Amino acid sequence: MNQRIQRVRGMQDVLPGEVWKWRYVEQGLMHITAAFGYQEIRTPVLELAELFIRSVGETTDIVGKEMYVFEDRGGDILSLRPEMTASIVRAVIENHLLQQQPIARLWYYGPMFRRERPQKGRYRQFHQYGAEVVGSPHPESDVEIISMAWQLLQHFGLSQLELRINTLGNSETQQRYRAALVAYLEPHKDQLSPESQARLVTNPLRILDSKNEQDRAIVEQAPKIVDFLDDESRAFFDTVLSLLDRLSIPYVVDPYLVRGLDYYRHTAFEIVSTALGAQNAVCGGGRYDGLAALLGGKPFPAVGFALGVERLLLVLEAEDRFPAKPPVAQVYIAAVGEAPMREVALMLASRLRAEHIPTTVDLLRRSVKGQLREANRYGVRLVVIVGEQEWQQGMVIVKDMASGEQKLVAEATLVQEVVRRLRQETNES
Ligand code: ATP
Ligand code: MG
């Protein structure tokens, strides 16, 4: 026997029994997106590796350790996208989107790839939903982005959420802060984890983000960026916070929250679920005014967030917020006996389907008992039983699966009757 081929580690099959949860989440996301008037953008899953190396940066885990990079047959160095912000900025520049309009409000949804150690809530192929406001330097856009992320999660009835926010200030503030942070950390260098020691040179802000216990203890005493803000940065942050107050969005200011990328400015935020354990960040975002210039475009301001869909699914599970599993079909047509009645079943199914009533028939030539068992498993509301005797009178039996009640219905009025019954039950529930 040939050896079985398995799926790639850290990548998941979404099976039919689970896919309805994805649909539920996707529909909810679309619903709220529509309320904000954002437009969808789709970009390729593959990009030149250079795009992420230049934007996200080699000193980050995402590019330094996690990115899938390969040489294609033509010798191009390509990469499976680990995130989509860089792709969007590339697309905005390449397609001159900001020449046609001064601002673009964009959303996206799709698979991202990072070669991380797989664990609960952390996969090598995962999905992000995200939104970006491109073209506005004003704090109202930061707040619109945050409120969109917040409302998306509220829509699902989640309660154990925490919005954490910080500011990184403008680039002058960041430079002064970085110098102060390095000056503080230098004397502790020997106590830092090897990773953080390396970051002291390459990307010191990322040390604030370290999960290492000993690093954390040192970071706790570190200078805070809020104490380094110049007037512009202070005013920007104050406006963001007061607008959040106006919108009644609760937040916690976390002075050590950073997005460890050089192009971030001002707002950085994260939404975590206290219902999750280790991988508790559902959503992260911030302002990235410095990115366009890194990609060789005319600079433009932008702010956005990315939400992990697998994590959102885990939170919904943890907070028990999924609705009831939808039935596979609403009507099952069971045929009694051999070919003639099975043909009738096919014909009736076709009529119901033409009216958009989700209908299933038996394809395994089973006994009536077997067919009823399948109907049950599919969770249908009605079974139409086509028997020779009744059919000769132009009648079929309609069985209500909830009450068990059976009724003779004339062929000519079947569609009408089914529609009426289904509507009735929907109103009752
Ligand atoms: P983490 O600290 O959990 O590694 P991150 O800072 O790498 O997160 P971002 O790059 O900000 O995450 O991505 C935004 C969101 O995407 C995260 O908040 C999370 O919900 C989700 N996410 C990131 N990496 C993964 C992954 N490997 N598997 C599943 N979801 C992920
Ligand atoms: Mg990560």
> Which helix (H) or strand (E) segment is 109 a member of?
strand 104-113
pLDDT of residue 54: 92
| Residue 425 in this model has a pLDDT that exceeds 80 | no
Residue 263 confidence (pLDDT): 82
Q: At residue 17, does pLDDT exceed 60? A: yes
Average pLDDT over residues 50-68: 90
Q: Counting atoms of ligand 1 from 1, which one is nearest the CA of 307?
A: 15
Angle, vertex CA 240, rays to CA 278 and CA 34, nearest 5? 75
Q: Which ligand is nearest to the CA of 130?
A: 1
Region 376-401: mean pLDDT is 96
Measured from the CB, is residue 130 less than 6 Å from ligand 1?
no
Establish how many alpha carbons lie within 13 A of residue 34's alpha carbon, considering only the half-sphere containing its beta carbon.
Answer: 7
pLDDT value at residue 426: 65
DSSP letter (8 states) at residue 119: B
Give mean pLDDT, residues 307-329.
95
Q: For position 337, what pLDDT does the model report?
A: 86
Residue 429 has pLDDT above 80, yes or no: no
The structure's pTM equals 0.93
* Amino acid 344: pLDDT: 96
- Residue 48's alpha-carbon distances to 67, 81, 82, 200, 306, in angstroms, are 12, 9, 12, 29, 21
12 lines ligand 1 (CB under 6 A): no
Give nearest CA residue, ligand 1 atom 20: 308
Is it the case that residue 73 has pLDDT exceeding 80? yes
Determine how many CB atoms are found less than 10 A away from the CB of residue 377. 11
Pick the atom of ligand 1 nearest to 279's CA: 3
Q: Which ligand is nearest to the CA of 276?
A: 1
Q: Looking at residue 427, what is its pLDDT? A: 67
Residue 279 pLDDT level (bands cut at 50, 70, 90): confident
Percentage of the chain exceeding pLDDT 70 = 99
